[in-house]
Each structure stands twice: as structure tokens, then as C-alpha cells.
């Protein structure tokens, strides 16, 4: 296990706590730092290589840089701003990493081994499910991430570092990324897109744009903005309801951006991109699993040529929702298939851990007294009252 902490990497060049991470810097940022420090321009390339190509775990280790440049760098930045606090799961299944941030908060990231039923059908790819925020402000009624509310956005460095830390720990490359961990990526637009640029760049981490998926609860204006973003990343929508009444019950964001507005934004996305959009649909018993919803979902999916991923709901501690029986799950899928929609139903174990992202962090922060234990009893009423 990588047990690097700022204290362990600092001596003798001492880095103060809470400095921005080097893994959030672009070549332009580095060139600006080098110019400010009065150093020759070629130093910028060296620093860039230490950060990304060589993945230096400390500034001290950047041996081709002068001592004074390393000191100047360590005054402004830190090589690592996360530490791995806990790993659960196993190599053959899904491994979940609890990562501690410099301010003592936690986020989760989940490594999913090659899996045939994944987004984009990348069967031979190792997927990492990354977080974009600490907590979440969107308050989806079924989700653990938002239970304790929203704390803050992650920086670009904290996002990129999730991949770098997991790769170092696992000793293997990640080749597929999904922004399906904690948080709403499109509510942290500038840091997420900056991280995507770094993750994609040849000088950076080198993951193909088509192997990165941003998942959103449906922030229509930001979907349009992302459609104009130059990299050919994929888009997934957490839909979970095919009519406004059903969706608004479990996703308050739907009151702000109802389905008509969301699907107009998706049409705009389609006009800019060739790749199919994925509609994620959790099946929750008695809430959104009625076959009438399946018929409406089929219509909506066909309208934008989207694929549908059905996910039986994973129980969250403190929430009462359950998944429907397998017969109902199959019947729901069959309605989609009969309507000519590409639909998958994922029942594999790994996703039980992945989709429950947020729970580990919730437990840890509650145990440490960082947050009060959330009071889920107040939040689980099915019906219009639940979203007030
Ligand atoms: N906020 C973004 C990114 C988070 S994605 C979004 O909503 O898309 C996390 C995914 O896991 C979402 O599709 C979410 O709806 C799903 N999810 C959350 N809790 C779940 C649970 N208990 N069981 C199954 N899926 C869940």
C-alpha cells in the first residue's frame, strides 16, 4: 500500500499543508510558474515530465531540478494531496478506495476489473469510477452521496490524483474512466473539464477521450456547454424516471430542469457528437419500475438513439428503498428490447460496491465526528412530500 503522506515526502524540502496539487497543472500553468521564478523556459518541460511521465511522488525526488527550484516549487505546490485511507474488495472483483483529502474530508473511488456489461461495452478494460465533489448538493432520494449534503468541489488535481494513486497502488493502468463516484461533475464544470484535459493529454495521463464518461443527474445548461467542449468524451444521464411526476419524486433536480428541457439539451449534444448517449435507470421497487415507465423510457431513448443501462437498486444503509424481483426487472428490460432499444440489465456483484459510492465516506466522516449522522428517516417518504 502506498503510505505516502505530505509529512513523509516533505523532508528536507518542507511543503506546507493544503497547497494545490501538482497533478492539476497544465503546461501553461507550469510555464507561468517557471517564468515567475526567473528560471529558464526549458525547466517547464522537465517539471511537466516529473509530474506526469515519471509521476514523481515528491518534489524532493525531482533530481534534475536545482535545489532552489525545488524549494520554490514546494512553497507553492504539493506532489500529492490525497492519501489512501482504506481499501476494500479484492483484485478479482471491485476494489473501493477511501481517499483522505488534505482538509481531512474523504472521497471514494472504485476500480472495476474488465467487465462485459460496462458503459460502452468495453469488456477488456479496467474502469475507474471517480468522484468529482465531496458530498453532493442534488439530494437524489435514493443515493448515499448526498445524505450528508454538499461540502465542496474537488480540484482538478484531486480528480487526476485519484487515477494516479489507484494506478500506483494496483500496479496497473486504468483505461476507462467514469465520473460516477460521489458528486455532480457538471456542477464542478471547470475543475472537471480541466482534469479531463490532463487525463486525456499525451503529456498527461493519456486516456482516450472516448474512454471517459461524464455522468450527470441532468443539468441541462451544462450539458449544452459540455457538448461544445472539444474532447469526444461520452455522456451518461442518471434518468431513473421516464415521466416528470416519477422523476421529480426521487430527483429534485427534475423540478429545475424537467424532462422536456433535459431532452432538448440531449438533442443538442447529439447534433454535436456521433457517440450514443447512455441513459442510466435504477430500478426501485414500486417507485419507477412500472411497465408504463418502461414504455415511456423506450420512447424517450428512441427519440435520441440512446442506450439504456438498467441497474437494480442497491440498498443504502438508512434508506428503505429496495430492488424489484428479477421477474419484474426482466419484464422491464423486455419492454425496451421489444421497442428496439439497446438495453442492458446489470446484476453483477461489482456494481453493488460501485453504485453504493458515498457510503464508505459517510461512515468514516460520521465515525470521526466530521459530520453528524444524517437523519435519513426524514428523507425517505415516497411521494411529493419527499422533495419539498
Ligand atoms: N451526479 C452524477 C454522478 C454520480 S453517478 C449523476 O447523477 O449521474 C452515480 C450513479 O449511481 C448514478 O447513476 C446514481 O443514480 C447511481 N446510484 C446512486 N445510488 C444508487 C444505488 N443505491 N443503487 C444503484 N445506483 C445508485
Pocket test residue of 119, 139, 282, 309 for ligand 1, highest count of atoms within 8 A of CB: 282
Please report the atom of ligand 1 found closest to the CA of residue 354.
11
Q: How far apart are CA 254 and CA 123, in angstroms?
A: 33
Q: Is 200 in the pocket of ligand 1 (CB under 6 A)?
A: no
Q: How far apart are CA 167 and CA 174, in angstroms?
A: 7
Q: What is the pLDDT of residue 348?
A: 61
Q: What is the pLDDT of residue 118?
A: 47
The residue whose C-alpha atom lies closest to atom 4 belonging to ligand 1 is 180
Q: Is 58 in the pocket of ligand 1 (CB under 6 A)?
A: no
Burial 231-247 (b: 16+ CB within 10 A, else e): eebbbbbbbbbbbeebb
End-to-end CA distance of the chain: 45
Q: What is the dihedral of CA 168, 174, 177, 179, to 10 degrees?
A: -20
The residue whose C-alpha atom lies closest to atom 5 belonging to ligand 1 is 180
Q: What is the pLDDT of residue 317?
A: 78
Q: What is the pLDDT of residue 145?
A: 79
Sign of CA dihedral 35, 41, 44, 47: negative
Q: Domains of the chain by range and CATH?
A: 18-76 (1.10.150.530), 82-387 (3.20.20.70)
Q: Is 131 in the pocket of ligand 1 (CB under 6 A)?
A: no
The residue whose C-alpha atom lies closest to atom 22 belonging to ligand 1 is 314
Find the 354 Cα to ligand 1 centroid distance in Å.
9
Q: Is 223 in the pocket of ligand 1 (CB under 6 A)?
A: no
Q: Which three cell numbers stand for residue 364?
A: 468514516
Q: Is 217 in the pocket of ligand 1 (CB under 6 A)?
A: yes
Find the 271 Cα to ligand 1 centroid distance in Å.
26
Please report the atom of ligand 1 found closest to the CA of residue 217.
7
Q: Is 110 in the pocket of ligand 1 (CB under 6 A)?
A: no
Active site residues: 108, 357
Find the 215 Cα to ligand 1 centroid distance in Å.
9
Please report the atom of ligand 1 found closest to the CA of residue 236.
8
Q: Is 180 in the pocket of ligand 1 (CB under 6 A)?
A: yes
The residue whose C-alpha atom lies closest to atom 13 belonging to ligand 1 is 238
pTM for this prediction: 0.89
Q: Is 108 in the pocket of ligand 1 (CB under 6 A)?
A: no
DSSP H helices, the chain, are 6-10, 27-36, 42-48, 67-76, 156-170, 189-200, 220-227, 244-250, 253-256, 259-272, 291-303, 326-338, 350-355, 359-367
Please report the atom of ligand 1 found closest to the CA of residue 215.
8
Q: What is the pLDDT of residue 123?
A: 54
pLDDT tens, position by position, for the chain (388 residues)?
Answer: 334 344 434 344 544 458 999 999 999 999 999 999 999 999 999 999 999 999 999 999 999 999 999 999 999 999 999 999 999 887 777 889 999 999 999 999 999 887 545 444 445 688 899 999 999 999 999 988 777 789 999 999 999 999 999 999 999 999 999 999 999 999 999 999 999 999 999 999 999 999 999 999 999 999 999 999 999 999 999 999 999 999 999 999 999 999 999 999 999 999 999 889 999 999 999 999 999 999 999 999 999 999 999 999 988 878 889 999 999 999 999 999 999 999 999 876 555 555 556 666 766 777 777 766 664 443 333 333 333 2
Pocket test residue of 355, 356, 357, 362 for ligand 1, highest count of atoms within 8 A of CB: 355
Q: Is 130 in the pocket of ligand 1 (CB under 6 A)?
A: no
Find the 143 Cα to ligand 1 centroid distance in Å.
6
Amino acid at each position: 500500500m502506498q503510505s505516502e503522506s505530505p509529512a513523509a515526502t516533505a523532508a528536507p524540502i518542507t511543503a506546507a499543508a493544503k497547497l494545490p496539487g501538482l497533478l492539476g497543472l497544465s503546461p501553461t500553468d507550469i510555464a507561468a510558474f517557471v517564468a515567475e521564478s526567473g528560471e529558464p523556459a526549458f525547466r517547464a518541460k522537465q517539471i511537466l515530465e516529473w509530474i506526469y511521465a515519471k509521476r514523481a511522488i515528491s518534489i524532493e525526488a525531482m533530481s534534475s531540478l536545482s535545489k532552489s527550484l525545488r524549494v520554490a516549487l514546494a512553497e507553492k505546490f504539493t506532489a500529492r494531496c490525497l492519501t489512501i485511507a482504506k481499501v476494500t474488495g479484492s483484485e478479482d472483483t471491485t476494489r473501493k478506495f477511501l481517499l483522505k483529502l488534505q482538509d481531512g474530508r474523504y472521497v471514494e473511488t472504485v476500480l472495476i476489473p474488465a467487465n462485459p456489461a460496462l458503459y460502452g461495452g468495453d469488456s477488456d478494460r479496467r474502469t475507474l469510477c471517480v468522484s468529482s465533489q465531496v458530498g453532493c448538493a442534488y439530494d437524489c432520494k435514493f443515493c448515499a452521496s448526498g445524505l450528508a449534503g454538499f461540502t465542496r468541489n474537488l480540484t482538478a488535481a484531486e480528480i487526476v490524483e485519484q487515477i494516479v494513486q489507484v494506478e500506483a497502488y494496483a500496479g496497473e493502468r486504468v483505461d476507462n474512466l467514469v465520473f460516477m463516484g460521489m458528486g455532480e461533475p457538471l456542477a464542478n464544470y471547470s475543475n472537471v473539464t480541466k482534469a479531463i484535459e490532463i487525463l486525456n493529454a499525451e503529456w498527461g495521463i493519456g486516456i482516450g477521450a472516448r474512454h471517459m464518461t461524464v455522468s450527470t443527474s441532468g443539468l441541462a445548461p451544462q450539458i449544452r456547454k459540455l457538448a461544445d467542449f472539444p474532447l469526444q468524451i461520452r455522456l451518461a444521464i442518471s434518468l431513473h424516471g421516464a415521466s416528470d411526476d416519477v422523476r421529480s419524486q426521487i430527483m429534485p433536480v427534475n423540478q429545475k430542469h424537467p424532462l422536456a428541457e433535459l431532452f432538448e439539451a440531449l438533442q443538442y449534444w447529439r447534433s454535436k457528437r456521433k457517440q450514443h448517449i447512455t441513459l442510466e435507470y435504477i430500478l426501485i421497487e414500486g417507485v419507477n419500475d412500472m411497465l408504463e415507465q418502461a414504455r415511456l423510457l423506450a420512447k424517450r431513448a428512441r427519440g435520441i438513439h440512446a442506450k439504456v443501462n438498467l441497474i437494480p437498486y442497491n440498498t443504502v444503509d438508512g434508506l428503505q428503498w429496495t430492488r424489484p424481483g428479477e421477474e419484474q426487472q426482466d419484464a422491464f428490460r423486455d419492454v425496451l428490447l421489444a421497442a428496439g432499444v439497446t438495453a442492458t440489465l446489470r446484476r453483477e456483484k461489482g456494481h453493488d460496491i460501485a453504485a453504493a459510492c458515498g457510503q464508505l465516506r459517510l461512515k468514516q466522516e460520521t465515525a470521526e465526528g466530521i459530520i453528524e449522522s444524517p437523519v435519513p428517516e426524514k428523507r425517505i417518504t415516497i411521494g411529493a412530500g419527499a422533495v419539498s
